[in-house]
Amino acid sequence: MDTNQKIKEVGVNIQEKATVIWNVANSLFGAYKPHEYGLVILPMVVIKRFHDCLLPTHDKVVQTYKDIEGLAVKDAFLRKASGYRFYNTSEYTFEKLKADPENIKVNFEAYLNGFSDNVMDILARMDFFTQLERMANAGLLYQVISDFCSEKADMDPKKISAVDMGYIFENLVQRFSESYDEEAGAHFTSRDIIYLMCDLLTEKMGMAEEGRIYTAYDMAMGTSQMLTCMEERLSTLDKAAKLICYGQEINPFTFGIAKADMLIRGGDPENMQFGDTLSDDKFSGMTFDFVISNPPFGIDWKREATKVEAEAKLGSSGRFAPGLPPKSDGQMLFMLNGIAKLKDTGHMAIIQNGSSLTNGDAGSGPSEIRRFLIENDWLDAIVQLPNDSFYNTGIATYIWLVTKNKPVAHREHVQLINASKCFVQRRKAIGNKRVDITKEARDLIVKVYGEYRDGEFDATTENGYKLLVKSRVLSSLSLGYNKITVESPLLDSEGNPILKKGKKQADAARRDTENVLLNEDMDEYFEREVLPYSPGAWIDHNKDKVGYEIPFTKTFYEYETLEAADDIATRIESQEEVLIRKIQELFRKAE
């Protein structure tokens, strides 16, 4: 079944399930403010999901624990008994907890303490024990546990798959984010965008070896849905292929969800690491086949500055040697981190906003990062997404496709794909998200990337929506320029150049700069474009700088011919005549 069809079919049930769970907040009203509801609901969902996964083997685990209680090492036995890489040795279940309201706090603490260390780490990261005390003191704990005993809150993995549970977690995190008024840059990526990124990543991959083991890394993984989707996409290409996922996340709640999901799906929970990717890289020295990520943008990196700047001074042995962006926006630092994490045959899809295209003059950090990418010939393509594609922001966003092993036909070129008109309007907006990149839209964008040529491509959906994608393949050289400094002579009162030791002196007030494309001779440009208008000027080549920018808007700009003045006048006269007739009719009726 196509993934988008799957979303369509399960969407209502998932929305309903998430709504039922979020409605537990009714029990929190008063003791908690609306933006605090997620502090309870998110960890409780994780706990209940673990509970329902373990319920079929609960008695077996409890008995096994009693049988091996004297052994020093118990984990392997208990994991085998539970059928998962985690377990709970407590005799309590949610129904047993509900049956004893008088001792709810003591019993619930005993239940939680029965979890294996990997689950306890998740709950500690979410600071759940603080919330447990708060709920108990407010007299809410029993009601919250009772709410999660509801049949509608059943999270049995036989009824809700790992993928569907991912949708539910995503929906709940989105609600928490909206109630907490998250910054626009710290947003969650909808599945239609994730699947587009996965398809673009695998479009040119080719399955050279059936059954091969691949690795994927997300440096800002959130709830790890990008990694889950990448695993799903790879499986459709080769059922025998295996994807080992790695991720790092700084938000303790989304990290907890990601690690819980990994545990339940049988992966290695140690591959999910908590911490700040920029200042505390948990995967130092490791490289991966795929990097897929939507890091925050428009958010400063001042708190990471000391460690980032120190690492930049390490040169090529660190991640940030090419350059540092302004401290007001750290998204290009994530770009550099992703490049450092790619194998020599690796592929990366990373989302950036428009500032990464052109922000920064020649010699600046952003320009040097673009230069690093382009001169190494790693930037393969950039795809502009439709506006209003994300839940929390409506600004223009772009998928950068980076590969360290570009196809021969792509080398020394960069493809710009304008997919801003390739979408289907949603019947009902979800926050700022007003459009969907449906399967038909996704297929068209992937086709354009696959053909890697100039052109306009269109398609019509089954519902009659017109899809349009424009593509331009530019020479890498055309994206760079030499910034030259033009000096003019300092003149005396009679207009003659002032000389010092026989040399003309530069007039700082008349100093100017020009950008000359890399594929054009600087001196020829100067003689043609500058010297005729500034006699006596010269280029100070000691100040030459190389810059790179990606003129996305300029590349796709289409001049619209203005309406002729005579036509405008005629139209105005016609409208005036109509207006005069209507006024005259009103006066006649009034008489």
Q: What digits encode the pLDDT tens for the residues 29-62?
A: 889 988 899 899 999 999 999 999 999 999 999 9
Residue 114 has pLDDT above 90, yes or no: yes
**Residue listed under structure tokens 């003149």:** 491
- In the chain, where the domains are located: 3-177, 184-411, 479-552, 564-591
Whether pLDDT at 591 is above 70: no
For residue 464, pLDDT over 60 is answered with: yes
Q: Which CATH superfamily is domain 184-411 in?
A: Vaccinia Virus protein VP39 (3.40.50.150)
Distances in Å between the alpha carbon of 280 and those of 159, 249, 273, 277, 319?
A: 39, 11, 10, 5, 12
Tell me how far CA of residue 420 lies from CA of 53, 321, 453, 476, 552, in angstroms. 42, 33, 18, 23, 12
**Minimum mean pLDDT range among 12-21, 224-233, 327-336:** 12-21
**For 33, what's the count of Cα atoms within 13 Å in the CB-facing half-sphere?**
4
Cβ–Cβ < 8 Å for 416, 382: yes
Q: What integer pLDDT is reported at residue 528 of this predicted model?
A: 95
Inform me whether the pLDDT recorded for 84 exceeds 70: yes
pLDDT tens-digit readout, 265-292: 888 989 999 999 999 999 999 999 999 9
Planar angle of CA 219, 221, 227, nearest 5 degrees? 100
> 106 is written with which tokens?
């003591």
235 band by pLDDT with thresholds 50, 70 and 90: confident
| pLDDT at res. 54 | 96
pLDDT at 232: 87
Name the more confident of 235 and 58: 58
pLDDT attached to residue 176: 76
Phi first, then psi: what are they for 181, rounded to 5°? 60, 55
Looking at residues 206-212, what average pLDDT do you find?
A: 62
Question: What whole-number distance in Å separates Cα of residue 351 and Cα of residue 353?
Answer: 7
Phi and psi at residue 322, in whole multiples of 5°? -60, -35
The structure's pTM equals 0.86
Helices (H), ranges, 240-384 = 252-264, 305-312, 331-340, 355-358, 365-375
Span 474-482, average pLDDT: 96
The Cα 451–Cα 290 span in angstroms is: 22
pLDDT, tens digit, for every residue of 568-588?
888 888 888 888 888 888 877
Q: Is the pLDDT of residue 2 over 70?
A: no
Alpha-carbon span 111 to 47, nearest angstrom: 10
What is the rounded average pLDDT for all residues in the chain? 90
